[in-house]
Amino acid sequence: MTSVDVSNTTIFTLIADNFSEGLAGYNCTVSVKNPQIALISNVNFPSWAILHDNSTVPDSTVFLSAVDVGETVQAGARNVILGSIVVQGISEGTTNLTIIVIQMDADGGGLVAPSVVEASLFVRREPVTIKGDFNDNGRVDIGDVTRVAYMAVRLVPDDIQADFNGNEIVDSGDAARIAWYYVGKVAEL
């Protein structure tokens, strides 16, 4: 689950893991299930999508269309970025983002039938005020230690506020630091 503060934005990248027959183009919609929690404020397309279009933003549902005119996404392409969605937090709560693929074509005209995974977004009322308090309960506890450990092994998305050692990624050093802080072996994060 990704987190964002009210009035701030976060980016969801749409990635296809494998195009065995390449990609000619696609049409899809991305929707925020609860528009009282968040809205889509912008859409960005990758460089291969020379021809692209999207519906007006901000909105709770956005239509995206892209065509690979330059045949950049070839057969066997992996981890292809289809675009990114900028989502703004409106009010505190949790909502999902859903993708509906209307049509996706392989090079040569065959249909691509992708599996789609929903994304979850938690909008926080205000920024974390206690360093290391990722569950917003007013203290650093075992839940926060667990959250950072999950970030370090990539079970949940990183929150850059958990980069306690300043190396620009959340890793085992950060997980160890918050664990030592929790048990009182270090005085600060």
pTM confidence score: 0.67
In whole angstroms, give the CA distance from residue 28 to residue 55: 11
In whole angstroms, give the CA distance from residue 123 to residue 35: 12
pLDDT score of 127 more than 80: no
With contact defined as beta carbons under 8 Å apart, do 94 and 121 qualify? yes
Exposed e or buried b per residue across 48-70, where buried means at least 16 C-beta atoms within 10 angstroms of its C-beta: bbeebebeeeeebebbbbbbbee
The CATH code for residues 2-124 is 2.60.40.680
> For 104-132, what is the mean pLDDT?
88
**What CATH fold (topology level) applies to the domain 128-189?**
Type 1 dockerin domain (1.10.1330)
What is the residue extent of each domain of the chain?
Answer: 2-124, 128-189
pLDDT score of 129 more than 80: no
> For 123-133, what is the mean pLDDT?
79
pLDDT score of 130 more than 90: no
Structure tokens of 64?
């995206």
| 62: Cβ contacts below 8 Å, ≥ 6 apart | 29, 30, 31, 40, 43, 54, 55, 85
> For 29-35, what is the mean pLDDT?
98
pLDDT score of 128 more than 60: no
